[in-house]
């Protein structure tokens, strides 16, 4: 009578390789991740009159404020509102998704103590939500580009590549901060401060040309978001295809973060049910 997959055997002496096992469980629990993603999106819009339009208006509002404030300062940047908005979309994806990974995990603590589910589900759902929100935000982005005479070219078909790289990086960072947040409650607050500082160290609201050469060198070398945001802007705002180094290095960095985040999180996650 008993189905074979219902037998759970765990032997501490010869257990499966955990990072791989977690991946298999994620595939098995895909319905859960879809449900969590759906919950995040539905609950965000349910009680607001604007509904789904809010996703599009939110970055647009920030863009308008920034444009009013900085258009004169950064006169040389062609179509400054489009420049800012394209940067904001990429940044918001990263900051919101990595933050939501942590918040979701803390929300799920009661469950993690009692029922088995892949612990990365919460982070994966957060990244999925960020992905959907960003896709929706591309619509107002295109309108802004039209308004400010930035040509829309077919290179936007390349956008899935930067989006996937952003998702990988956000997941990696999200898993790392989630792990710390389990042990230290103050990490959640500190991460907000880190995100704010990090945003100002990334050319989002200012053109990178204004940076002095030595600082520009430091940022482009040590801030992974620099090249990731740039890669997002290239097919959209700059209307061209990236050269090899422009997509390859962000890809490798994101992959490294993803693998490190996944391993650290998975190896630590067995303790979560005792710590949370």
Partner 1 sequence: MAEKIILNDITVSYKIPSERISTFKEYIIKSIRRQIHHRQFYALKNISLEIMEGESFGVIGHNGAGKSTTLKLIARVLAPSLGRIEVRGKVSPLLEIGAGFHPELTGRENIYLNGALLGFSRREMDEKFDSIVEFSELNNFIDAPMRTYSSGMWARLGFAVATDSQPDILLVDEVLAVGDEQFQQKCFSRIERFRQNGTTIVIVAHSMETIEANCTRVCWIDHGEVKYIGAPDIAITKYRSSQ
By CB under 8 A, name the binding residues for partner 1: 2, 6-13, 15, 29, 31-32, 34-36, 38-39, 42-43, 46-47, 110-117, 180, 183-187, 190, 270-271, 273-274
Q: Which is nearer to partner 1, 104 or 202 (CB)?
A: 104
Q: Which is nearer to partner 1, 8 or 244 (CB)?
A: 8
Least distance from partner 1 to the Cβ atom of residue 10, Å = 5
Least distance from partner 1 to the Cβ atom of residue 170, Å = 21
Residue 264 half-sphere exposure toward CB, CA atoms < 13 A: 18
Q: Which is nearer to partner 1, 190 or 252 (CB)?
A: 190
Least distance from partner 1 to the Cβ atom of residue 168, Å = 24
d(CA 198, CA 134): 20
The CA-to-CA distance between both ends of the chain, in Å, stands at 37
Least distance from partner 1 to the Cβ atom of residue 103, Å = 13
Q: Are 125 and 33 in contact (CB under 8 A)?
A: yes
Q: Are 79 and 66 in contact (CB under 8 A)?
A: no
Least distance from partner 1 to the Cβ atom of residue 31, Å = 5
Q: Length of the chain, please?
A: 276
Tokens (6 digits) for 211: 């940076």
Q: Are 132 and 183 in contact (CB under 8 A)?
A: no
Q: Which is nearer to partner 1, 101 or 104 (CB)?
A: 104
**DSSP character string of 125-178:** HHHHHHHHHHHHHHHHHHHHHHHTTPPP-GGGGGTHHHHHHHHHHHHHHHHHHH
Q: Which is nearer to partner 1, 2 or 243 (CB)?
A: 2
Look-up of token digits 């100002």: 200
Q: Which is nearer to partner 1, 84 or 117 (CB)?
A: 117
d(CA 122, CA 55): 21
d(CA 41, CA 52): 9
d(CA 8, CA 253): 37
Least distance from partner 1 to the Cβ atom of residue 128, Å = 14
Least distance from partner 1 to the Cβ atom of residue 86, Å = 32
Q: Which is nearer to partner 1, 185 or 212 (CB)?
A: 185
């Amino acid at each position: 009578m008993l189905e074979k997959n219902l037998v759970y055997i765990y032997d501490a002496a010869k257990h499966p390789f955990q990072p791989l096992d977690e991946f298999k469980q994620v595939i098995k629990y895909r319905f859960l991740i879809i449900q969590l993603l759906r919950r995040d999106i539905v609950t965000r819009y349910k009680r607001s009159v604007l509904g789904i339009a809010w996703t599009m208006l939110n970055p647009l509002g920030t863009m308008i404020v920034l444009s009013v404030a900085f258009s004169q300062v950064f006169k040389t940047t062609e179509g400054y509102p489009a420049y800012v908005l394209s940067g904001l979309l990429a940044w918001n994806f990263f900051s919101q998704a990595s933050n939501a990974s942590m918040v979701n995990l803390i929300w799920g603590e009661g469950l993690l103590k009692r029922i088995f589910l892949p612990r990365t589900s919460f982070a994966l759902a957060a990244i999925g939500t960020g992905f959907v929100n960003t896709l929706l935000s591309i619509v107002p982005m295109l309108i802004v580009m039209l308004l400010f005479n930035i040509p829309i070219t077919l290179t936007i078909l390349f956008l899935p590549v930067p989006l996937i790289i952003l998702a990988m990086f956000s997941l990696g960072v999200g898993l790392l901060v989630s792990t710390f947040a389990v042990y230290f409650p103050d990490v959640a607050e500190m991460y907000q401060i880190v995100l704010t500082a990090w945003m100002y160290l990334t050319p989002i609201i200012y053109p990178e040309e204004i940076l002095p050469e030595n600082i520009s060198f430091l940022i482009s070398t040590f801030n992974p978001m620099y090249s990731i945001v740039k890669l997002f802007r290239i097919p959209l705002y700059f209307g061209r295809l990236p050269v090899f180094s422009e997509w390859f290095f962000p890809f490798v960095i994101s992959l490294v973060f993803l693998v490190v985040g996944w391993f650290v999180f998975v190896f630590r996650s067995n303790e979560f049910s005792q710590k949370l």
